[in-house]
Amino acid sequence: MAENSADPDLILDAISYVEEVHRAETAENTAPPPGTAGRVVAAILADAALSESVRRWARERRILEASTAPPVPPPIDDVYRRVSRWLKTAEAATP
């Protein structure tokens, strides 16, 4: 994980992914509650396969480029479902 946690591009990709899953799940244009996104991002960074999936998703959607188009939610696949579960668990644990 030390390798992934030091990769600023991957961290931004993971934050963007978590925020997009949160938006898709809540139908709100908001970020997850404070602390929640950080826990889920850390879980993504700890898993090499998830990290690579998130990196690929971000690269395909060019998330760091400015656009007036609305964000496209991630595909609902295993990665999405895992992140969604983690978000729900982390949000429930946040006071």
pLDDT tens digit string along 35-81?
889 999 999 999 999 999 999 998 888 765 667 777 677 899 999 99
H or E segment and range at residue 69: none
Over residues 14-40, the mean pLDDT reads 88
Tell me, what's the pLDDT at 7?
86
Is the model's pTM score more than 0.85?
A: no
Over residues 4-14, the mean pLDDT reads 85
Structural domain boundaries of the chain? 2-93
Say if residues 74 and 60 touch (Cβ distance below 8 Å). Answer: no
